Amino acid sequence: MPFCARRCDYCAFYVYEKAASGLRREYLTRLESELKVKSEYCDPLATIYIGGGTPTYFSTRELREMLTMVTENFQFEAGYEFTVESNPDCLTPAKLTALIDGGVNRISTGIQSFSQGVLDAIGRPGKIERAYEAVDAIRASGIGNFNCDLIFGVPGQTISDWENDLKEISQLAPPHISAYSLMIEENTKLAESGTVEGDDELLSEMWNLAGEYLENHCGLRRYEISNYAKTGFECRHNQRIWMGNRFIGAGPSACYFDGVSRWTNPTTLASWLKNTPAVEDAVSSEQRAVEILITGLRTVDGWERFDFERVTGFDYSDIRGETICELTEAGLLVQDVNSLRLSNQGLLLADFIARELL
Amino acid sequence: MHKIDLIRNFSIIAHIDHGKSTLADRFLQHTESVDDRNFQDQLLDNMDLERERGITIKSHPVSIRFRGSNEREYSLNLIDTPGHVDFSYEVSRSLAACEGAVLLIDATQGVQAQTVANVNLAIRQNLVIIPVINKIDMQAADIDTCREQLEEILAIPADEAILASAKDGVGITEILEAVINRIPSPKRMDNEILRALIFDSVYDSFRGVINYVRIVSGGIKAGDEIRLFSSGVVSAVKEVGVFSPEMTPVGQLEVGSVGYVIANIKSPEDSKIGDTITGKVQSCDQPLRGFREIQPMVFSGIYPIDSADYEPLKQSMAKLRLNDSAFTFQPETSAALGFGCRCGFLGLLHMEIVQERLRREYGMNIIATYPSVIYHVYLKNGEMLEVDNPLHLPDASTIDRLEEPIVKASIISPVAYIGGIMNLIMDKRGVCGETNTVDQYHVMMAAELPLHEIVIDFHDKLKTITKGYGSMDYEPFGYRAAPLVKMEIKVNDEPVDAFTTIVHRDYAAARGRQLAERLQEIIPQHLFKIPIQAAVGGNVIARETVRALRKDVTAKCYGGDITRKRKLLEKQKEGKKKMKQIGKVNIPQDAFVKVLKSNTS
């Protein structure tokens, strides 16, 4: 869903600010036909994730319409997980009701920070009180499974600023937190203004603090580089993607994976509306296996040898045994007879490790 | 009237940015030598590198047909010349093929030091000079000062100057008329024996060596058997032609004309710039007077990133040398870098250009070492060694004294910057000579400086100090003894011989700190910390550390990110492969050049 009230300074997505209702209508019409096509031959869904953009930027009616498209065209597995992303600013009680009516059982909300300075620095205006109100509203609606996004490593942010954000979020006690180190990506307002990512020592200190604080004060365990959850509240949708499961996607820039190739829909809304076909990312089965090895290693538990072989058809020791041993010796990987995961140091150097494995 | 009387061979002498390429473009358009459809700016600068940097490196001939006001049709051969301080050698060989030169002066900048040197070169070769004051359309144009400079510095009568604006096409006809009226036609020779001067050559992988020639006597056509005078190689001519401006075959190149000759010469080494082409049967007794052979003054090692590329690198260098005879190379080895070549250059820009050409035109992945000059090492046993690689400096205990090359520099600058320039000269261990007034705004300063100091960054600093208005030329001025020592750089406790340099004892600590600081910025973070040390005779004089990399991870990687992310990682991995691994440390290719471009003194 590519619409937002305002594009954040760190956002590299093709989002459309304050889109006119006509354009939103065109989007919904085209989305419905794409979902219809993709629902044919589709197994019942284990997880559904609507992200953006800001899905809750839609009016209540548009939101209901979009959710109906999903529920009418697809079957869900028992115990499915259905997440919608939201912005505290536009998560009204009416929209919350619409979400619940539409089968949504998990909400992710972008709080980012409780510091006005940090929010200003990343171009996210809005009242901090809205974060508290939104979390209260989600709880009151009966949705107990929700996530709060936080951001750290923002220019000017000190370690004690970050600790304060962690303290504030622990008051709200969400069962899931995503805490992202600010990335400066190309084609963002931050990149254009010449902002650079923070010092790696400070960032790693902030990351370590997040792990300790959320575990000790909130009972959340880090289960992926940037994700923390109470046991049983991990985001199953993302877990399945990291572990190489197939998924479908719809909308501009949406990606999907058929088990062999990855596909990316046209990135701009205009080209997607014109039915421009998706672009295939075809690589050899071994390269695909290595890619899945890398995404799976982002999770703290990493891979069981047999799971990896079941998903990819390869034994990781056969295809990358030598590199795995080198990285294990360097203290970046932890290897057991039948499992492989990143060490604590390795989690912070996952890209380095990925380049070695590729 | 004989055909030769309608030929004019000339070049354009100009400082960098004074509008030479634009003027050449106007000549081509004005005489309809290219149709507008095929026109692109700076037509003669056909190396990408030249267009990018806005400078001409390779001289590059073109033939223009021009009907004069006397209704006669002339054949004008324009032999383009480069304008940068490192390339006076290129200028001299271009001039050898000409009878005259257009001297182009930027009305907003005035006469520059290098222009003086090149005009003197042209006058020594008896060329007729046509002064042109260009850019008169600009607001900052100061025509009177330019006229004053012409008379005062170059002793050229000011009333000979033509006023022009190449950009707006003003004065183009006057210049072309002056070319046919003031520049003499090529001299007629009594005998008909072929003598052609090779003033440039290029290598084409399909056609072999293409020689650019000026026919001094006789004529040459396809099928002729020719002999290259100095190498003695005999070969059959496959094609001759002119540059209009693309290479265009003609039936015959006649006496006085400028064009190209393609013969059956496959090996770049057989053809030498400055050599004479003559007939196989009817040969001349004497070669034409070649050019001043210039010796390279700056040396640096060039190594392949991948040691398997050593042979291809040597072949590429041989081809490149074909049309850049000032560039020299010979094999050497380095403990850090393996097999490579010791290369000689005219100056720092020349060095950078050669490196760039090896990378772009020949696709070589190379690394270049810290530049050096030729030192004279006098041993206690009375022997004298010439050392162009600091590594080969003998043990200090055996050395009686060391002498380094000195240059005499002349600098032209606006009066306001004299103080800054004097400080720069002294910082660079130089001695200021006399300062003369050029006109009411400009002075010409003389200085003696160690060549090594000039090689590093003198020219860049001069430009900074004078806000771009200062210019410089230099010539060798013998050798002088100095307390010089060898400074080594250790990266991760391993000496990197490629960074070894010879420095003045009193400047060693400062230079060592500067090098270590620059390397600290340039060497990327690794998983371990990397100490960088500068040492003289085993004593560490500077130390820096590259901190261990703590974090290298993308915060978000979800379903929509995986493809993009993998491609990015693959690209980064490719980038790492282009680095040179020394011990456990990866050093970027350009590190060895980047360390020179420091901002501190």
- Cβ <8 Å between B559 and A238: yes
Instruction: Inform me whether the pLDDT recorded for B600 exceeds 50.
Output: no
Helix (H, G, I), strand (E, B) or coil at B474: strand
Please count the other Cβ atoms lying within 10 Å of the Cβ belonging to residue A159.
Answer: 12
Q: Is the dihedral of CA A190, A196, A197, A199 positive or negative?
A: negative
Give the strand pairing for A146-152 and A106-112: parallel
- Report the distance separating Cα A106 and Cα A176, nearest Å: 10
Q: Best mutation site among B526, B552, B553, B568 for testing chain A: the one with the most A CBs within 10 Å?
A: B553
Q: Best mutation site among B528, B550, B567 for testing chain A: the one with the most A CBs within 10 Å?
A: B550
Q: Which of A182, A203, A256 sits opposite B551 (nearest CB)?
A: A203
Which residues are CB-contacts of A37 (< 8 A; sequence separation ≥ 6)?
Answer: none
Tens of pLDDT along A205-219?
A: 999 999 999 999 999
Instruction: Inform me whether the pLDDT recorded for B1 exceeds 70.
Output: no
Chain B positions touching chain A (beta carbons under 8 Å)? 525, 527, 547, 549-560, 562-563, 566, 569-570, 572-573, 576
- Residue boundaries of the structural domains of chain A: 3-21+41-239, 286-358
Tokens 């019409």, residue located = A29
Q: Which residue has the higher pLDDT, B325 or A268?
A: A268
Please count the other Cβ atoms lying within 10 Å of the Cβ belonging to residue B545.
Answer: 12
Of the candidates B432, B459, B455, the residue with the CA atom closest to the CA atom of residue B445: B432
Helix (H, G, I), strand (E, B) or coil at A37: helix
Instruction: Inform me whether the pLDDT recorded for A45 exceeds 80.
Output: yes
Q: Which of B525, B549, B555 sits opposite A180 (nearest CB)?
A: B555
- For B68, B177, B183, the CA distances from B71, given in Å and listed in that order, are 5, 11, 17
Instruction: Inform me whether the pLDDT recorded for B462 exceeds 80.
Output: yes
Q: Are B13 and B102 in contact (CB under 8 A)?
A: yes
Q: Is the dihedral of CA B388, B393, B398, B403 positive or negative?
A: positive
Q: Best mutation site among B557, B564, B578, B584 for testing chain A: the one with the most A CBs within 10 Å?
A: B557
- For A246, B119, B161, B332, the CA distances from B156, given in Å and listed in that order, are 82, 10, 9, 49
- What local confidence, expressed as pLDDT, does residue A321 receive? 95
- What local confidence, expressed as pLDDT, does residue B440 receive? 79
- Cβ <8 Å between B559 and A181: no
Q: How many CB pairs under 8 A join A and B?
A: 90
A27: amino acid identity, one letter:
Y
Residues of A in contact with B570 (CB under 8 A): 358
| pTM of the complete model beyond 0.80 | no
Distance from CA of B495 to the nearest CA of A (A): 24
- Cβ <8 Å between B560 and A201: no
Residues of B in contact with A351 (CB under 8 A): 552-554, 569, 572
- Report the distance separating Cα A276 and Cα A268, nearest Å: 10
Average pLDDT over residues B10-39: 75
- What local confidence, expressed as pLDDT, does residue B320 receive? 86
Q: Which helix (H) or strand (E) holds A72?
A: helix A60-73
- Cβ <8 Å between B560 and A254: yes
- What local confidence, expressed as pLDDT, does residue B12 receive? 87
- What local confidence, expressed as pLDDT, does residue B587 receive? 87
- The ipTM, to two decimals, is 0.94
What CATH topology corresponds to B376-481? Alpha-Beta Plaits (3.30.70)
Residues of A in contact with B554 (CB under 8 A): 183, 350-351
Instruction: Inform me whether the pLDDT recorded for B42 exceeds 70.
Output: no
Q: Which residue has the higher pLDDT, A109 or B154?
A: A109
Instruction: Inform me whether the pLDDT recorded for B108 exceeds 80.
Output: yes
Read off the pLDDT band of B57 (50, 70, 90): very low
CATH of region A3-21+41-239, choose from 3.20.20.70, 3.30.300.30, 1.10.600.10, 3.10.450.30: 3.20.20.70
Tens of pLDDT along B402-451?
A: 999 999 988 988 899 999 999 999 999 999 999 988 777 888 899 999 99
- What local confidence, expressed as pLDDT, does residue B243 receive? 86
What is the secondary structure of A135-203 as a DSSP string? HHHHHHTT---EEEEEEE--TT--HHHHHHHHHHHHHH--SEEEEEEPP--TTSHHHHTT-----HHHH
Q: Which residue has the higher pLDDT, B12 or B601?
A: B12
Residues of A in contact with B566 (CB under 8 A): 281, 291, 294, 358
Q: Which CATH class name applies to A286-358?
A: mainly alpha
Residues of B in contact with A181 (CB under 8 A): 551, 553, 555
Please count the other Cβ atoms lying within 10 Å of the Cβ belonging to residue B167.
Answer: 16
- Residue boundaries of the structural domains of chain B: 3-182, 195-279, 298-368, 376-481, 485-600
Query: Is residue B577 packed enough to be buried (19+ CB in 10 Å), middle (13-18) or exposed (0-12)?
Result: exposed
Read off the pLDDT band of A100 (50, 70, 90): very high
Crossing angle, helix A159-172 and helix A200-218, to 10 degrees? 30
- What local confidence, expressed as pLDDT, does residue B54 receive? 47
Residues of A in contact with B549 (CB under 8 A): 200, 349, 352
- Report the distance separating Cα B319 and Cα B210, nearest Å: 12
- Cβ <8 Å between A281 and B563: yes
Mean pLDDT of chain B: 85
Give the nearest chain A residue to B561 (CA atoms).
Answer: A255
Instruction: Inform me whether the pLDDT recorded for B551 exceeds 90.
Output: yes
Segment among A88-97, B44-53, B555-564, B565-574 with least mean pLDDT: B44-53
Q: Are B418 and B426 in contact (CB under 8 A)?
A: no
What is the secondary structure of A204-257 as a DSSP string? HHHHHHHHHHHHHHH--EEEETTEEE-TT-S-HHHHHHHTT--B---STT-EEE
Instruction: Inform me whether the pLDDT recorded for A325 exceeds 60.
Output: yes
Say whether B195-279 and B3-182 share the same fold: no
Across-strand partners of B221?
B252
Q: Which of A183, A349, A351 sits opposite B556 (nearest CB)?
A: A183
What is the secondary structure of A1-17 as a DSSP string? --EESS--TT--S--EE
Average pLDDT over residues B260-266: 87
Read off the pLDDT band of B47 (50, 70, 90): low
Residues of B in contact with A256 (CB under 8 A): 559
- Cβ <8 Å between A181 and B551: yes
Structure tokens at B296: 């390279």
- Report the distance separating Cα B555 and Cα B558, nearest Å: 10
- Cβ <8 Å between A241 and B553: no
Q: Tell me how many degrees the CA angle B212-B166-B350 measures, rounded to the nearest 5.
A: 45
Read off the pLDDT band of B286 (50, 70, 90): confident
Residue B151: left (phi > 0), alpha (psi -120 to 50), or beta?
alpha
- For A47, B4, B230, B357, the CA distances from A341, given in Å and listed in that order, are 25, 83, 70, 46
Tens of pLDDT along B345-400?
A: 887 778 888 888 898 888 898 888 888 999 999 999 999 999 988 988 998 889 99
Average pLDDT over residues A228-245: 97
Half-sphere exposure of B437 (CA within 13 A, CB side): 5
- Provide CATH code, domain B195-279: 2.40.30.10
Please count the other Cβ atoms lying within 10 Å of the Cβ belonging to residue A190.
Answer: 23
- Report the distance separating Cα B258 and Cα B319, nearest Å: 23
Tens of pLDDT along B160-219?
A: 999 999 888 899 999 999 999 999 999 877 678 999 988 888 877 788 888 989 998 999
Segment among B86-90, B209-213, B362-366, B536-540 with least mean pLDDT: B86-90
Tens of pLDDT along A167-206?
A: 999 999 999 999 999 999 988 999 999 998 999 999 999 9
Average pLDDT over residues A279-292: 96
Instruction: Inform me whether the pLDDT recorded for B43 exceeds 60.
Output: no
CATH architecture under which domain B3-182 falls: 3-Layer(aba) Sandwich (3.40)
- For B27, B41, B141, B183, B321, the CA distances from B175, given in Å and listed in that order, are 9, 20, 19, 11, 35
- For B54, B107, B167, B462, the CA distances from B19, given in Å and listed in that order, are 10, 11, 8, 22
Of the candidates B150, B162, B24, the residue with the CA atom closest to the CA atom of residue B94: B24
Q: Which of A183, A238, A241 sits opposite B554 (nearest CB)?
A: A183
Structure tokens at B392: 């080969």
Phi and psi angles of residue B175, each rounded to the nearest 5 degrees, phi first: -65, -45
Tens of pLDDT along A104-143?
A: 999 999 999 999 999 999 998 778 899 999 999 999 999 9
- Report the distance separating Cα B18 and Cα B24, nearest Å: 12
- Report the distance separating Cα B529 and Cα B268, nearest Å: 47
Instruction: Inform me whether the pLDDT recorded for B44 exceeds 60.
Output: no
- What local confidence, expressed as pLDDT, does residue A149 receive? 97
Read off the pLDDT band of A320 (50, 70, 90): very high
Give the nearest chain B residue to A241 (CA atoms).
Answer: B559
- Cβ <8 Å between A255 and B560: yes
Q: Catalogue the long-range contacts made by A124-127 (C-beta closer than 8 Å, 24 or more residues apart).
A: A124/A8, A124/A9, A125/A6, A126/A87, A126/A88, A126/A89, A127/A89
CATH architecture under which domain B485-600 falls: 2-Layer Sandwich (3.30)
Q: Which of B550, B562, B570 sits opposite A201 (nearest CB)?
A: B550
- Cβ <8 Å between B570 and A181: no
Give the number of residues written for chain B. 601
Query: Is residue B51 packed enough to be buried (19+ CB in 10 Å), middle (13-18) or exposed (0-12)?
Result: middle
Read off the pLDDT band of B599 (50, 70, 90): very low
- Report the distance separating Cα B240 and Cα B222, nearest Å: 6
Of the candidates B288, B280, B81, B283, the residue with the CA atom closest to the CA atom of residue B197: B288
Query: Is residue B52 packed enough to be buried (19+ CB in 10 Å), middle (13-18) or exposed (0-12)?
Result: exposed
Query: Is residue A306 packed enough to be buried (19+ CB in 10 Å), middle (13-18) or exposed (0-12)?
Result: exposed
- Report the distance separating Cα B409 and Cα B446, nearest Å: 6
- Cβ <8 Å between A181 and B557: no
Structure tokens at B112: 């520059």
B349: amino acid identity, one letter:
L
- Cβ <8 Å between B554 and A291: no
Give the nearest chain B residue to A257 (CA atoms).
Answer: B559
Residues of A in contact with B569 (CB under 8 A): 294, 351, 354-355, 358
Structure tokens at A340: 């492989």
Distance from CA of A291 to the nearest CA of B (A): 7
Tokens 């690394």, residue located = B367
Q: Tell me how many degrees the CA angle B260-B15-B422 measures, rounded to the nearest 5.
A: 140
Q: Which CATH class name applies to B298-368?
A: alpha beta
Tokens 């492989």, residue located = A340
Average pLDDT over residues B11-36: 77
Q: Tell me how many degrees the CA angle B344-B349-B354 measures, rounded to the nearest 5.
A: 55
